[in-house]
């Protein structure tokens, strides 16, 4: 997550909407004073999250965090799970997927977009009980692409997700070089590009 926060700082300069889902969202939520239970969190990045929220406001960027989650009492597909408002996740419960309200809102924003960069799932999509948020996002990206948007899937888990749900041929491009793509968006010079430009 630490690396992705640096990328977000750079992306805020270039985007109209920035959707934050998956494990990263809970650090942002905790930074705003919400109770996140046992959800994934990087406590040493709370101040940076607040800075990014403020920077997005200054730039007029809509930064979207999930309003709700599907929470579970263990990291398992067999765990007890339920939808939960993200302002107060009980102790012993962890967010493993975005909830239905967040999935609907995120899909609306994706469907209205003309250029889409997607890196990272909305939850633990490998487990069937926590795949809905990622699947909903994948459907929205495919729909937006069909309606003329350019969609770039940023490698790794995102590529695996669109493949799992059968949308890999319904997006504009799937980058298998996820790490290099993220470094590019972070503003770093890539050795291969540097060699070509010499």
Task: Break the chain into its structural domains and give their ranges.
Answer: 2-186
Residues near 105 by beta carbon (within 8 Å), at least 6 away in sequence: 64, 67
Pick the closest to residue 141 from 126, 120, 163, 162 (CA basis): 162
Dist. CA 54–CA 70, nearest whole Å: 27
First to last CA, the chain: 33
Please determine, for residue 9, whether its predicted confidence score (pLDDT) is greater than 90.
no
Q: Tell me the mean pLDDT in the region 180-194.
A: 77
Please determine, for residue 156, whether its predicted confidence score (pLDDT) is greater than 80.
no
Residues near 112 by beta carbon (within 8 Å), at least 6 away in sequence: 144
Range name among 54-63, 116-125, 174-183, 189-198 with the lowest pLDDT average: 174-183
Give the torsion through C-alpha atoms of 95, 100, 102, 106, to 10 deg.
130
Dist. CA 129–CA 170, nearest whole Å: 24
Q: What is the mean pLDDT of the chain?
A: 92
The whole-number pLDDT of residue 176 equals 77
pLDDT-based confidence at residue 17 (cuts at 50, 70, 90) = very high
Dist. CA 147–CA 150, nearest whole Å: 9
The whole-number pLDDT of residue 140 equals 98
Q: What is the pLDDT of residues 33-91, one digit of tens each?
A: 999 999 999 999 999 999 999 999 999 999 999 999 999 999 999 999 999 999 999 99
The whole-number pLDDT of residue 87 equals 92
Fold topology of 2-186: Rossmann fold (3.40.50)
Tokens 């350019």 correspond to 150
Pick the closest to residue 139 from 116, 182, 62 (CA basis): 116
The whole-number pLDDT of residue 90 equals 96
User: Which SS3 state, helix, strand or coil, does residue 36 take?
Assistant: strand
Pick the closest to residue 100 from 133, 128, 135 (CA basis): 133
The whole-number pLDDT of residue 82 equals 98
Distances (CA, A) of 145 to 11, 80, 134, 165: 21, 36, 16, 16
Pairing relationship of beta strands 88-89 and 35-36 according to DSSP bridges = parallel
Q: Tell me the mean pLDDT in the region 100-115.
A: 98
């Amino acid at each position: 997550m630490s690396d992705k926060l640096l990328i977000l700082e750079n992306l805020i300069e270039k985007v109209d909407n920035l959707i934050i889902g998956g494990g990263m969202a809970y650090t942002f939520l905790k930074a705003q004073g919400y109770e996140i239970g046992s959800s994934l969190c990087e406590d040493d990045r709370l101040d940076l999250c607040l800075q990014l929220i403020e920077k997005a406001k200054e730039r007029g960027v809509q930064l979207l965090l999930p309003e709700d989650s599907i929470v579970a009492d263990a990291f398992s597909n067999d765990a007890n799970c339920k939808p939960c408002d993200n302002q107060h996740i009980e102790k012993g419960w962890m967010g493993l997927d975005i909830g239905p309200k967040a999935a609907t809102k995120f899909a609306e924003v994706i469907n209205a977009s003309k250029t889409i960069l997607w890196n990272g799932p909305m939850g633990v999509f490998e487990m069937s009980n926590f795949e809905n948020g990622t699947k909903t996002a994948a459907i929205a990206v495919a729909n937006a692409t069909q309606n003329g948007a350019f969609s770039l899937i940023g490698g790794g888990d995102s590529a695996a997700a669109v493949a799992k749900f059968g949308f890999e041929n319904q997006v504009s491009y799937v980058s298998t070089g996820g790490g290099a793509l993220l470094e590019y968006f972070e503003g770093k010079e890539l050795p291969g590009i540097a060699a070509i430009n010499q």
